[in-house]
Structure 1
Amino acid sequence: MGTFGGQFEDFHADDRRAEVIDWLGGLLPEFDLPLDSSDEELREYLIDGTALCYTADKLMPGVLEGVWGGYASDHRSNVKKFLSVIAEMGLPGFSVKDLEEGSMSSIVECLLALRDNVSAGLGENMSNYAAKTPSRPVAPVSTPGRRSPGEDRRRGLWDAKSPQRSPLLSGQKANEVFQFKRGQYTDLPAAKISEMIQSNSLDNAPTQSLLRVVNGILDESIERKRGEIPHRVVYLLRNVVQEIEHRISIQAEHIRNQNSIIKTREDKYRSKIKALETLVNGTNEENEMAINRLELVKVEKSKIDERRKIGEQDMVRLMREKENAENTVTNLQQEIQVMSRMFEEYREQMEEKTSQMEEHLTLRAKEAEFLLTQSKKRVEEVETASELQSQLWSKKANTFRSFMDNQKLSIKDIRISSQSIKQEMFALQMKWRDEISNIGLDLKGLVDAAENYHGVLAENQKLFNEVQELKGNSCAVYCWSTLCDCN
């Protein structure tokens, strides 16, 4: 009884661990653990907390805002952040010690509870995401001498620069690259198309965007008058169709691998069911326990059957998409053939026009050569005449230069003479001013004298009379004195 219970518990733990590994493999493109991995292998992958944080951010974008900067250095803080999110959601958690060295059952149950909690709201998104990332191998094989990304992560070396680290952001960026309005594909420049093809835009773009590009190019080719499509757009269309075929083939291979895995697990469950049936023949208690376990196994088997049916439905849907893509490729090939025939006709017309243009250009070239020889002769004659004219003009220029020199000397002498005359005139003007002032003074004296002439004349007459009297008196005195002396 104890052996039977231990075997069933181990079987149940292995099954739950395989479910977690399968779920993480579909959610994270970097997760490459096989389904039969042990607890220690799963522990090595989850111990740094990076995969846990990435899972939470993938299911609920933005819930760990600011975590992507440096969580790889401290795994305990990463695990605590994940556990805080689990606690806020009200889900059963686990301790950091269990992740480091304890039992993995609590971690497995926590991840399965998280899956069941968000599966209702994210079922459609997860299926779309699985369709957008078909390149994840089920059981990758590492190259000798090199470690795969999964091995690096199991050793604690999370690749922060891996291009798959943020597939949602790269998908959004690629989706923005293919968001063109109707009628713009034929107007795209060759540099833009080559950039779209050479970069990872086709690899990261959603399949719906690629199909939208194909439909847009076909609609534009139908709307154009002659159905002509530029070769660069045809090249873009061919690459997009090849990418769609590649994705369909990879998705089909993925579904086949999943079916093989499901069949393997179904065989494994059948063998375990047979072992349980043999053990059921024991005691009643063991039978009751076996019946309960069988019920659980049947439930698990029904889940597996549902998954297989979903895989078959996806396979049918992918086959239909492949048929539609093949029909689209056939139509495009027919259109390319029509366009090639039209291009050949256009090329023949252009060759005829080119030959006619060559003949016309040959005649024009001969005429141009004749005109060139005539123009050369004319240029020589003009150069000779211009040389004679330049000599004549140089002589005239020398004569005019000598004349101008003489005129400059004459003007200089005249300027000097004018300056001396100005100085003499200034001196003469000052002299005249002085003489005029003196004459004015003299005239003033004469005017004054003329005004006092009569008074002076009467006074002079009076004085003259007085003088005569004095003379008479003097004569008398002289005579008297003479007489006195004589006496």
Structure 2
Amino acid sequence: MAGTGDIALKMASDDYPTRRKEAARWLRKTVGVVVAKDLPAEPSEEDFLQGLRSGMILCNLVNKLQPGAIPKVVEAPSAVFNEPDAEALSAYYENIRNFLVAVEDLGLPTFDFDDLEEGGDFSKVVDCLLALKSFSDWKKLGGSGSRKFSGSKSSPSAKSFNRRNSEPSMTPLSRTQSVGSDKSFDTLDQSGNASDANEESDSGPLFTIVCDLLEDKEEEDIPIIVENILNKLTEEFENRLVKRIQRVSLVTSHGLSTTETPRTLSEAIKEQERLAREEQERLEREEQERIAREEQERLRKQQEEEERAAREEQERIKRHKELLEERERLRKMKKEDRERAKREQQERIKREKELRAQEKAARKEEERMAKEQELRNTLSTAKIGVQSMQKDYLEEADNLGKQVRSVCQAAAGYKKVLEENRKLYNQVQDLKGNIRVYCRIRPFLPGQENCVTSVDYIDDDTVTVIVPSKSGREGRKASMFTKVFGPSATQEDVFADTQPLIRSVLDGFNVCIFAYGQTGSGKTYTLTGPSDLTPETMGVNYRALKDLFLISEERKDDMSYEISVNMLEIYNDEVRDLLVTDGIEIRNGAQKGMNVPDANLVPVTSTDEVVNLMNLSKKNRAVSSTDTHDSGSRSHSFLTVHVFGKDLTTGTKIRGCMHLVDLAGSEKIDDSEDEAAHVSKSLSAFGDVMVALALKSSKVNYKSCKLTQLLQDALGGQAKILVFVHVHPDLDEALETVNTLKFIERFSTVEGGAGKSGEVRELKEQIALLKAALAKKEAGEGQSQELRTSASLQELSTNSPRKGDLEDDSIDDSDDNAGKAKNPSAKQPAQSPAAKKAAAGAAAPKVAKQQTAVDSKKKKGK
């Protein structure tokens, strides 16, 4: 009764949703998320009902708690996503029935089939799940203690569960006995101990205890309790019998001498044992008879209950079958209605299509007739218009013919003027010098700002360097160039004088740009720039290519250009293709102006493509360490740009080449490795060819080395040559710098394609030396220095000394002046720019006189 009250109270309470969620969480945790995939973590009552409706989750739950309780779980489609048919519903009910039977066998509260349908009492299902949860917790505790299931109701199946679980391990102190029976057994033990003094005690108290013990017990529990009482009584009787034997033995040990006493005791003991056995047999027979009667009664009631349950089950199955049949009938009716509606819809659509087709055909016929009439009218009008237009076109064609003839004449004149402009432009470049020699002085690198420089004086076209001697005295050497770029010159400044030559390449001329100097003087930096390129630090190569593509794009309406490049290297007098790293041979007079026809010629359309090829060539170029530079190049590298142009109007074809040559380091053989012998030989041959070109010699020996042989077509004829001479600023490299300047002096005096007179060159060199001397002596010499300078100028204007004599005099003069300094042993540093400017200003009148003399001699020579 108490259990029923608890259930009613819980059903009426507000925590029912909480208990439902608790049951759902425990159910998902026990059977696993995969098995409980149809059951949400916190389901509503409808979701819970749909998830459990198939019975598969419930059967898996019972098998988890009691393995093998349900041998077969019928597989059925989920009721959540599918409308179950008759076969699926049959599987559902078989699973639910197996689950309810298993729960009844466990002695737990159950529910009805209708509770899983809409309108059923779903709280019974929740109570059943919570009872299973309590059963699971009880099993985890080892099955000890009393089993109390919250929210469960008393049922015969629950009691039979207790009995079946107690039978395999039945003992006098069985785990199924209640607390009351334990207390009764304690009372029996106490009464047994109290009656130890009186063996013939009355059995009245025992009967009272048994009646009290069985008073509030269920009928099914009485056989178990009686069995426990009998076991306890037997045990107590045996204990008393043992105690009596012990007392008899004690009396015998105290000297009982009569022979009848033992016999009396022995007979009494035997009589007592016989009576006890008879009593025990009688009680056992009565107990067995009572148990048999109770078992028959229980079986009868159980059979009646099973028959009643079977009838109810059959009625429920019958009702569900009727419900399934009704649902199937309704489903078929709905299906027929849908099919009928679908057929009607299709027929209506078909009729509408036919109607639209008829209307469309009628409209097309009307449109056809209208268009036919319109075409007739148009044809008539067109005939009249064509006749009129034919007359007009004949007149216009005659006028256009006259205009075209005049335009052709004008175009021919324009082409002629354009060609003359190109020739004049390149003639201007020739007047500037077919061979131009630029000098660039490398600045000190970071960390070298405090080093002593070998450059003594710089102006627009002159460089004066300090010449150390073995005696410790310093001399001066001046060299003249087309233009001089100081340490502060930018890459853009250097390219500004190179840029006009790019247009000449597109006009069909050959252009060669060389970078010459010792290793570490900045040749590669001038041509390509640093490793990390920026728009400001890009070298001549990148800027020339960019300008080349820009001009070709501007001329695309008049000229069509095809631009391709190849990259070669001469290392140890062997020609290598930097794009394929294979050895190749030079063949002069080859087709398309290529002396190396086997070289890999790659067409390009943008500067970026050329940059990628240059990066590839850098990896293949021969680089090694020298005494002067850790990674100096020991080879001559060539970037050759081939331009093939075609005039879109006249069809005239032109071809031009631009060679960008990074020469190997020019240091002496004694100062580097053996491979420098090949470098020195090729540079010497290059100098001879340049001298021959400067002197307009009829015979030029191009075949003395691979370097000049490769550039034979590019250097001859109307080729335009530009040489960048690089000067190392460090005083320790002064001797190499002097050697570099002496090498360049062999051909640096060419202007406008003709050699300068040696006298003019020497005079300009002496002017540069005098300027440097004046700037140096400005602070200490005063008027005496001015007189000496004036005398030197006067002597120079009357006698033009030989170059060697003048150099010796300047060196001696410098040595004498150095000896007059306060510290004779110390080297004189280069003058600051301000001091040099002041010295140049002081010497300006004298220089003007000298320049006048030079100009007069030029006129006489002409």
- TM-score bracket relative to the smaller structure: under 0.3
- Larger proportion of strand: 2
TM-score, normalising length from structure 1?
Answer: 0.24
TM-score (norm 2): 0.14
